[in-house]
């Protein structure tokens, strides 16, 4: 579909304060896609919004990227002029390839980050639930997920500890190494928070879970030596713990300098939220160290070196699977011609059979089987030639020849 396009921004060209302004949570994403569907002639839409990027992929007869940027601007109450310089625009094959690169982790701030594929899967599920995923997007996403499976099996792109969660935990371990009986508070138990928890070891420190929905924290702590506390006790939680990891979805900072006492000797804060959940003023408090998602990349150098070597192999997989997808896409473009050719030849067959009225029912039945077999053999070569022409990008000429030879433009395909 030539009308498949994309627009978006990422950590590569937009600072965190801009990214957090256009970040979409699940509810916002649903509202935005529905508004997009209402206002524009959009056939498919996929909205991917993470701490590192916000991108919209869509299928439409016309290029609506400028209009969609305007809608994002209005939806987020930001000047479109302010956003314009940060957004990049992709068309047709560029958009498809970019989505491959994003989902497989080549565009991630932490190269090969395994979280992004799950985030894209959730975005795709949302599109499907809203009836905004058609044949093109369904095929593209399943091709990408297959490519991701190949990357895991055939390359070292995801080897080592290089996800945001694992890098955060490595940072924590380095910090608590010389602390006797260290205490860690994990606030927010969404996907990133749970990924952090999976990497933390309660034998190394006393872990406290804090979540708006307390039952989630209680469930995750079952059978483990882990404490659970209410978010209403935030100030005492911050005071009692050596490390505070915040992975909370919030529109305003959850943790401010007012939550900190003056007697702090040494404390580590890790902010995994976008928008940020720890106010910038906390960084200026003596004895406090604060890391946000942009700064965590400093801890990924070793894993990145290993993963960087895998990039050529990953790119080869992408090219192979993208080529397969484009072949399917081109074949979809000629499938109406193939169907019309089958109908035209079958009509000729039926007309010829109808002339022989003196034949017995048994003879007609036999001729029907024989002529159908003949038609299948006659049509096989043109179909193979059409598919081969699709792969060469030369199907248009052959389609025109078949249309002229069999007057296919006048052939109607019945709806089933």
Cite the active site residues. Answer: 51
Stronger pLDDT, 343 or 64, i.e. the higher one: 64
pLDDT tens digits, one per residue of 232-241: 889 899 989 9
Check if the beta carbon of residue 267 is closer than 8 Å to that of residue 283: no
Stronger pLDDT, 374 or 270, i.e. the higher one: 270
Percent of the chain with pLDDT over 90: 48
* CATH no., domain 164-302: 3.40.50.720
Q: What is the largest CA-CA distance in the chain?
A: 107
pLDDT tens digits, one per residue of 79-120: 988 899 999 999 888 999 999 999 999 998 878 888 899 999
**pLDDT (mean) for 287-315:** 84
Give residue 1's pLDDT. 46
pTM for the complete prediction? 0.65
Give residue 200's pLDDT. 86
* CATH no., domain 4-158: 3.30.460.30
66-80, 126-140, 196-210, 313-327, range with the lowest pLDDT: 196-210
Of the pLDDT bands very low, low, confident and very high (cuts 50, 70, 90), residue 332 is low
Which residues make Cβ contacts (< 8 Å) with residue 243, sequence separation at least 6?
172, 175, 176, 182, 183, 184, 185, 205, 267, 268, 269, 270
Q: If we measure between CA atoms, which residue out of 317, 342, 354, 341 comes closest to residue 405?
A: 341
**pLDDT (mean) for 381-393:** 72
Which tokens is 184 given? 């860690």
Checking if the pLDDT of 415 tops 50, the result is: no
Check if the beta carbon of residue 116 is closer than 8 Å to that of residue 162: no
Give residue 176's pLDDT. 92
**pLDDT (mean) for 304-317:** 92
Q: From CA 246, how far away is CA 177, in angstroms rounded?
A: 20
Of the pLDDT bands very low, low, confident and very high (cuts 50, 70, 90), residue 393 is low
67-71, 93-97, 260-264, 285-289, range with the lowest pLDDT: 260-264
Give residue 367's pLDDT. 85
80-89, 346-355, 405-414, range with the lowest pLDDT: 405-414
Stronger pLDDT, 297 or 32, i.e. the higher one: 32
Neighbours of 352 (CB within 10 A): 11
pLDDT tens digits, one per residue of 112-162: 888 899 999 999 999 999 999 998 999 999 999 999 999 999 999 988 766
Checking if the pLDDT of 341 tops 50, the result is: yes
Neighbours of 155 (CB within 10 A): 20
pLDDT tens digits, one per residue of 15-30: 988 998 999 988 999 9
Distances 311 to 34, 304, 314, 328 between C-alpha atoms, Å: 37, 10, 5, 25
Check if the beta carbon of residue 195 is closer than 8 Å to that of residue 253: no
Which tokens is 369 given? 């089987």
Percent of the chain with pLDDT over 70: 90
Checking if the pLDDT of 416 tops 50, the result is: no
Strands of the 206-210 sheet, one edge to the other:
226-229, 206-210, 183-187, 243-246, 267-271, 288-292
Q: If we measure between CA atoms, which residue out of 336, 324, 303 comes closest to residue 114?
A: 303
Give residue 333's pLDDT. 63
Check if the beta carbon of residue 279 is closer than 8 Å to that of residue 255: yes
Distances 342 to 11, 212, 378 between C-alpha atoms, Å: 51, 61, 10
**pLDDT (mean) for 258-284:** 86
DSSP assignment string, 236-248: HHHHH-SEEEE--
Half-sphere exposure of 331 (CA within 13 A, CB side): 13
Give residue 354's pLDDT. 83
- Which DSSP symbol is given to 105? T
Checking if the pLDDT of 281 tops 70, the result is: yes
For the chain, the C-alpha Rg in angstroms (whole number) is 29
Give residue 378's pLDDT. 80
Distances 289 to 58, 109, 244, 320 between C-alpha atoms, Å: 41, 21, 10, 45
Checking if the pLDDT of 414 tops 50, the result is: no
Checking if the pLDDT of 298 tops 70, the result is: no
């Amino acid at each position: 579909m030539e009308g498949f396009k994309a627009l978006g921004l990422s950590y590569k060209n937009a600072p965190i304060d801009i990214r957090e302004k256009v970040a979409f949570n699940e509810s916002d994403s649903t509202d935005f896609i529905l508004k997009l569907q209402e206002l524009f002639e959009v056939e498919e839409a996929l909205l991917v919004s993470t701490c590192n990027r916000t991108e919209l992929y869509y299928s439409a007869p016309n290029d609506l990227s400028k209009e969609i940027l305007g809608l994002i601007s209005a939806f987020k109450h930001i000047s479109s002029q302010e956003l314009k310089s940060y957004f990049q625009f992709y068309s047709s094959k560029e958009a498809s390839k970019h989505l491959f690169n994003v989902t497989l982790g080549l565009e991630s701030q932490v190269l090969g980050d395994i979280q992004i594929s799950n985030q894209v899967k959730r975005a795709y599920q949302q599109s499907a639930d809203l009836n905004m995923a058609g044949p093109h997007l369904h095929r593209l996403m399943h091709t990408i997920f297959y490519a991701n499976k190949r990357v895991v099996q055939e390359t070292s792109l995801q080897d080592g500890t290089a996800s945001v969660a694992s890098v955060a935990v490595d940072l924590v371990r380095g910090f608590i190494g010389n602390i006797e009986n260290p205490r860690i508070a994990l606030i927010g138990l969404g996907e990133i928070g749970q990924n952090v928890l999976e990497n933390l070891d309660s034998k190394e420190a006393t872990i406290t879970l804090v979540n708006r929905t307390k039952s989630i924290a209680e469930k995750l702590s079952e059978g483990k030596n882990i404490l659970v506390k209410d978010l209403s006790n935030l100030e005492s939680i911050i005071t009692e713990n050596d490390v505070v990891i915040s992975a909370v979805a919030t529109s305003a900072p959850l943790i401010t300098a007012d939550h900190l006492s003056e007697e702090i000797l040494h404390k580590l804060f890790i902010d995994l939220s976008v928008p940020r959940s720890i106010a910038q003023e906390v960084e200026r408090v003596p004895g406090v160290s604060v890391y946000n998602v942009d700064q965590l990349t400093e801890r990924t150098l070793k894993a990145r070196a290993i993963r960087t070597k895998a990039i050529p192999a990953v790119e080869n997989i992408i090219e192979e699977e993208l080529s397969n997808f484009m072949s399917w896409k081109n074949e979809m473009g000629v499938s109406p011609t193939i169907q019309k050719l089958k109908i035209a030849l079958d009509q000729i067959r039926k007309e010829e059979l109808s002339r022989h009225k003196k034949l017995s029912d048994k003879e007609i039945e036999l001729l029907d089987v024989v002529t159908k077999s003949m038609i299948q053999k006659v049509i096989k070569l043109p179909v193979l030639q059409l598919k081969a022409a699709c792969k060469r990008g030369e199907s248009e000429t052959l389609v025109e020849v078949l249309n002229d030879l069999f007057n296919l433009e006048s052939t109607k395909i019945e709806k089933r």
